[in-house]
Structure 1
Amino acid sequence: MIFKYEDITKKIIGASFEVHKFLGSGFQEVIYQRALAYEFYQAGLTFAREIEQHIYYKNLPEPIGTRRADFV
């Protein structure tokens, strides 16, 4: 499969598999977030955590809500 950002995509997928392989399942989300942040750092990826994003709908000038992205 060919991705527009193939190198970054491979690093993200690899980091995700590494975390799952090591931790398995059953932990709280924050545990996986911290482990994934560590793997991203080790892979040389630049990222931000817990970024609030405004949600817009059609032509409404004001956001209808917000969400918090785990990683950006």
Structure 2
Amino acid sequence: MIENDIATKIIGCAIDVHKNLGAGLLESAYQECLYYKLKKEGLRVEKEKPMPIIYENVKLECGYRIDLLVENKVVIELKSVDSLNDVHMAQTLTYMKLGNYKLGLLINFNVILLKQGIKRIINGTL
């Protein structure tokens, strides 16, 4: 399955989770529900995937973790904040670069209409 097809499924699942839960909950609640929904849809999902940093040819475990990684291709960074900002985008892009992933979805569940809280981030060409 290619990244765009995976992203379409992810967005559909995220919209379903948001419709059921609404805005205003903690990020961890959305993460657990989206993780469950994606698994139920038959997708391979890793939760809190460790993301080490390679510095001067040394692998360093710094505590960075991808919220969800789907099919080992699409990074999902979840937020429940008033608004997304450049730091959130940079964080997602950094995870994508560290893992050499091409597509990321930054999803803010703290919005009235989830469509307004989804940012698609591309690293390289898709």
Note whether the superposition's TM-score is higher than 0.5: yes
Which structure 1 residue ranges, 5 or more long, are not aligned?
Answer: none
Instruction: Give the aligned partner of residue 21 of structure 1.
Output: 19
Which structure 2 residue ranges, 5 or more long, are not aligned?
Answer: 70-126
DSSP 3-state at the match of 2:64: strand
1:61 to 39, 46, 57: 57
Structure 1 vs Structure 2: percent identity of aligned residues?
Answer: 36
Counting matched residue pairs gives 67
DSSP 3-state at the match of 1:48: strand
Instruction: Give the aligned partner of residue 45 of structure 1.
Output: 43
Using the size of structure 1 for normalisation, the TM-score is 0.76
* C-alpha distance in structure 2 between counterparts of 1:33 and 1:5, whole Å: 20
Superposition misfits of 4+ residues, deviation over 3 angstroms: 63-66
Instruction: Give the aligned partner of residue 8 of structure 1.
Output: 6
Over residues 16-37 of structure 1, what are the superposed CA-to-partner deviations in whole Å (9 max), with x where a residue is unaligned?
A: 1111111111111111011101
Considering only CA atoms, is the larger Rg found in Structure 1 or Structure 2? Answer: 1
